[in-house]
Amino acid sequence: MKTIDELLAGGVAGKRVFVRADLNVPLDGTTITDDGRIRAVVPTVKALADAGARVVVASHLGRPKGAPDPAFSLAPAATRLGELLGADVRFATDTVGDSAKAAVADLADGQVAVVENLRFNAGETSKDDAERGAFAAQLAELADVYVGDGFGAVHRKHASVFDLPGKLPHYAGYLIATEVGVLKKLTADVKRPYAVVLGGAKVSDKLGVIDHLLERADRILIGGGMAYTFLKAQGHEVGISLLQEDQIPAVKGYLKRAEERGVEFVLPVDVLVSADFPDLKTKAPAHPTTVAADAIPADQEGLDIGPETRKLYASKLADAATVFWNGPMGVFEHPDYAEGTKAVAQALLDSPAFTVVGGGDSAAAVRQLGFDEKAFGHISTGGGASLEYLEGKTLPGLAALED
C-alpha cells in the first residue's frame, strides 16, 4: 500500500484530503474520558495541514442506529482534535449534507474540518453493497484524495473504510502504517520466546486468535472473565463467575492441542472472589477474599487474578522476547480488582521484550492505572482489528488500501 509520505512528496497544497480516522472515544456525557485515539491521528492530520492540504476528518462514534443521535455526536472529539493541533477545527453538523459541503468549501489551505458521525447515515454500515456504495460516492464528493488512518475500524466492511478508497486515490496514514508494521512483528519473523496474554470477559471473543496462536506462540496466559471457562473445562468449581458453558468443548480442545504442540497454557492459580459485583460508580470498598483457583465457593464470583497468579504471570513474561497482551485480568475499573491488570502491565514494562498492548480495554487500563504509554513497545488503537489480524483474517480496510 502507498503511504502518506508518498502523497506528501507529490504535494498536497490546495487538495481536499479525506482522512478516515478513528475518533471513537469513550464519553461521559460530552466529556471525553480517554483521548488516546484522537491523539493517535494527530501526526497524520498535522502533516497534511502543515503541507497545505484542506483536511476533512471523518469517523464513527458508538453505535447509533443509522440516524442522528446527539448522544453520539463527534462534536467533543472535534473540539479535542483542535486543542491537540493548536488550531481551529471546523465542525459540520451532518455527514454529506449542506453543513458538510459548506464546511469543506470554506476550508483554506492548511485548515481542518470534522464531519459528523458517519454512522448517522445508514449507508455507512449497510450490508447492501449498493446502499453502502451510494454513501461512499457522496463522501467522495467532499475530497480529492483518501487517507486511511482509522485502524480501529479496518476490520469493518463499511462505506468510509472499504468502498470510499476505491473511488479516490488512496494512501495509508501514519497510524495504520505503524500498526501494520507492529502486527507483522507478531506474525512474521517473531523473536522468541513469544508470550501472549489474553483476558477480557468472553472466551468466545478470543476463540479465533487462540486457534491461530496455538500454531505460533510459545506461551499463552489466560485471565479475566474468560479464565473461568478454562477452569471449568478442567473440572473446577467456578461459582457464579462469568462462564460460557457452550465454549467448554472448544476450550478442552485448545488445552489438548496446546499440550500436544508444546505450547505452555498458563491459567490462574488463585483468584479474588466476592458474592457481589463491585460498584463501579462509587468505587465503594468491595472487600474481596482470595481463594485457590480450584476452590472457588459456589456462591462467589471470581473478579481478578490473585497475588500468586500475579507472581506466576510476571515470571512467565520475564524471559519473553515478544509479548502481545489483549484484555484485562479483572474488573480493573474498581481499585480492589485492579491489581491483576496492573501486575501484567508492570511485567511488560519490566520485561526486555518487544511489548504490544492490543487496544480496547487493555489500552484503557494502561492509561487509567497511570502507566507511561511510551514505556511500552506499542499500544494499539484497535483491539478488534488487532485480534482479527492475528487470526489471519483479511481486513477490509487494509485490503482497500492495497494497490
Q: Has 133 been labeled as part of a binding site?
A: no
- Cα gap 231→236, rounded to integer Å: 6
80 is known as an active-site residue: no
Residue in the block written with cell 480493573: 332
Q: Has 302 been labeled as part of a binding site?
A: yes
Q: Has 52 been labeled as part of a binding site?
A: no
**Of the residues 360, 382, 383, 397, which is catalytic?**
360
**Of the residues 80, 185, 202, 311, which is catalytic?**
202
Residue in the block written with cell 453538523: 93
- Going by C-alpha positions, the residue among 95, 136, 140, 143 that lies closest to residue 119 is 95
Question: What residues contact 177, with CB distance under 8 A and at least 6 apart?
Answer: 3, 4
Distances from the Cα of 251 to the Cα of 87, 226, 234, 293, angstroms: 51, 10, 9, 17
Q: Has 270 been labeled as part of a binding site?
A: no
225 is known as an active-site residue: no
389: helix, coil or strand?
helix
2 is known as an active-site residue: no
383 is known as an active-site residue: no
**Of the residues 15, 16, 20, 37, which is catalytic?**
37
Q: Has 16 been labeled as part of a binding site?
A: no
Q: Has 23 been labeled as part of a binding site?
A: yes
Long-range contacts of 254-258 (CB under 8 A, 24+ apart): 254/210, 254/211, 254/214, 255/230, 257/214, 258/214, 258/220
Q: Has 189 been labeled as part of a binding site?
A: no
Q: Has 99 been labeled as part of a binding site?
A: no
Q: Has 287 been labeled as part of a binding site?
A: no
- Going by C-alpha positions, the residue among 92, 97, 90, 78 that lies closest to residue 38 is 78
Q: Has 80 been labeled as part of a binding site?
A: no
**Of the residues 148, 239, 384, 397, which is catalytic?**
384
What cell was used for 169?
486515490
Q: Has 63 been labeled as part of a binding site?
A: yes
Binding-site annotation: residue ranges: 22-24, 37, 60-63, 119, 156, 206, 302, 333, 359-362
| Residues labelled as active-site residues | 37, 202, 360, 384
Binding-site annotation: residue ranges for substrate: 22-24, 37, 60-63, 119, 156
Binding-site annotation: residue ranges for (2R)-3-phosphoglycerate: 37, 119, 156
